[in-house]
Structure 1
Amino acid sequence: MIPVIEVGGTHVTAGLVDLTDGSVERRTHRKLDPHGRAEDILGAVCRCADALDTPAGTTWGMALPGPFDYARGIGLFRGVGKFEALYGVDVRAALVDGMARRPGGIAFLNDAHAFLLGECAVGAAIGHTRVVGITLGTGVGSTFVADGRILDHGPGVPPEGRMDLTSVDGGPLEESVSRRALVARYGERGIDVRDIAERARAGERTARRVLDEAFGTLGAVLGPRLATFEATALVVGGSMAGSWDLVAPALHTGLAKGGWTPDAADVNLRHPTRHTRAMRPAALAGDAALLGAARAVVARDGNRTGPGW
């Protein structure tokens, strides 16, 4: 069993991953204030990890968003609206010293990368060798995987593999597709994306237009890249993927306009061909990043264990 931690924009989750079957056991959760002090953020992470009661000397996997120096374990958060108190902080050292049972090491991995590696191993992208993953939440995370390797350059791949570094209509993509972008475009104070989704389902035209424009734009920007990358699957995760009934239609339309038309049905999902174009929501929900974080530990130790690993 490999202990892992996943840090999101407003939460932290820890669990034990069994790579023999891809299961996650003994999950623990804590809320996080992304605008809080460094000691408060790191303290919440330590308390969440301590609840698993793992032996001292154990190597942990940890998935968290960027910008972050994953090799050195140092926060680089600046101008992203979250965790800015961790800028320049040696997160690895703080966690090693702060956890009740001192770990032997921590292997860090980008949360979007961890998400897609988990989905490729035992989730929505099983059987696919060229896959793109998108996470939709406080920002837009992305991962391009070919034959099990994460790519940061190449045909169709954006700079550093990051769609958030691309632009649309002269501005950053996240000004069109993100939680803050949707709320700003809707224009009513005191509501969140969840409220906009509920209103769209209730038939409110403004709410539906805001969502359709955002996800249509995302599809139009992604489509040409997926076609050039020759992706056979697009897997969408993050908090907004929970409203797949609202995301999928506009995203499908945008992708088609961009030159990558998803299959009407995913009957070819587990037996993809060069012509397969499956668009799927995440199958593992929050477990995907935990599974991917365990993969980081496996890769660091030079071992491969379990199905898909």
Structure 2
Amino acid sequence: MTVAVVEVGGSHLTAALVTLEPPAVLRSRRWHVDPDISAEAFMDVMLEGAHWLAPGAGAPWGIAMPGPFDYPAGIGRFENVGKFEALNGFDIRAAFAARLPDTPGRIVFLNDADSFGLGEFTAGAAEGFRRAICLTLGTGVGSAFIADGVAMSSGPGVPPDGEAHFIVWGGAELEETMSRRAIRRAYLERTGADLDVHEIADLARRGPGVAASVLEHAFQALGEAMSPYVRDFGAEVLVLGGSIAGSFDLIEAPLRKGLARDVVLRVAADPENAPLIGAAAHASRP
């Protein structure tokens, strides 16, 4: 079975044809999209991707979109968020279905972080586990809480809408401590130097100092914030993706210290293809 997939990020749109037997991306192509793109121009890019894929009549479509978004309805809710404002209130499902060259099968939408988590669960670092929490660490903290192949948005150990950025640590939302901007701000306040995270990580690898201290604080805070969710959700594995996960050699020890519980820690196995496979898996569910 093949599934047509569209995955939308902050500045890109990827179209892919995915098979799930076994899970693999057969082909994919990426287009640049501006965050301030018009609704019509956005649909033009989507349709260019659809024509390039040409999956045929009856093919299911899985479409991964960042939030805020009404996923059951396929309608954007991008109000005052600084991206895709032209899609606020726009019925993407109806516009997409009406312009496809062939009559589609089901068209389903899901959160982009959930698509990443489902992909890692289906054929990645969380494969073989029943319950997994997958985090993307970068501009913010994206998250997916996966139970038996389903992305959960509520229930024990699941923050509101399954989104870890709602978690409060130290009296503020988690992203005020664990995010690219938070790490850069913490280093700037202590040194007066405005460095990016990868530069701070390079300094931390040289030995003890401000850079190492800043990163240790952020990653231990992440562990402490996630610890009760790992416990209550019953997560067997915690998967890390996103740009900051590239510093796993600096993350693991303080994160484990903060978690203070036994859970498998892994770096995402295929962060590029995981969202595509995850969207396909979601579209293939009965």
* Alignment TM class, shorter chain as reference: 0.7 to 0.9
Matching residue of 2:274 = 288
Contact 1:9 / 1:138 at 8 angstroms: preserved in 2? Answer: no
TM-score of the superposed pair, with normalisation by structure 1:
0.79
Contact 2:184 / 2:194 at 8 angstroms: preserved in 1? Answer: no
Residue 78 of structure 1: SS of its match in structure 2?
coil
Matching residue of 1:134 = 135
Give how far 1:183 is off.
3.5
Contact 1:133 / 1:144 at 8 angstroms: preserved in 2? Answer: yes
Residue 284 of structure 1: SS of its match in structure 2?
coil
Give how far 1:76 is off.
1.4
Give how far 1:154 is off.
2.7
| C-alpha distance 209-85 of structure 1, shift in aligned 2 (>3 A) | farther
Matching residue of 1:266 = none
AA matched with 1:92: R
Q: Bigger shift: 199-208 or 57-66?
A: 199-208
Contact 1:47 / 1:99 at 8 angstroms: preserved in 2? Answer: no
AA matched with 1:143: A
Q: Bigger shift: 82-91 or 119-128?
A: 82-91
Equivalent residues in 2 for 1:1-309, closer than 5 Å:
1-55=2-56, 58-97=59-98, 103-187=104-188, 192-201=196-205, 205-256=209-260, 260-261=261-262, 277-299=263-285, 302=286
AA matched with 1:298: S
Distance 2:208 2:84 in 1: 34
Distance 2:109 2:272 in 1: 17
Q: Bigger shift: 191-200 or 71-80?
A: 191-200
Distance 2:133 2:208 in 1: 32
Give how far 1:192 is off.
4.3
Give how far 1:117 is off.
1.7
Distance 1:202 1:96 in 2: 54
Distance 1:6 1:200 in 2: 34
Give how far 1:102 is off.
6.6
Q: Bigger shift: 82-91 or 94-103?
A: 94-103
Contact 1:4 / 1:16 at 8 angstroms: preserved in 2? Answer: yes
Residue 121 of structure 1: SS of its match in structure 2?
helix
Matching residue of 1:306 = none
| C-alpha distance 104-164 of structure 1, shift in aligned 2 (>3 A) | same
Contact 1:96 / 1:105 at 8 angstroms: preserved in 2? Answer: no
| C-alpha distance 165-18 of structure 1, shift in aligned 2 (>3 A) | same
Give how far 1:284 is off.
1.9
Give how far 1:164 is off.
1.4
Distance 1:31 1:71 in 2: 26
Cα-to-partner distance string for 1:103-160 (whole Å, 9 max, x where unaligned):
4552111122222222222211222112211122332222222333333333322222
Contact 2:118 / 2:150 at 8 angstroms: preserved in 1? Answer: no
Residue 51 of structure 1: SS of its match in structure 2?
helix
Backbone CA RMSD of aligned residues: 2.7
| C-alpha distance 189-49 of structure 1, shift in aligned 2 (>3 A) | farther
TM-score of the superposed pair, with normalisation by structure 2:
0.85
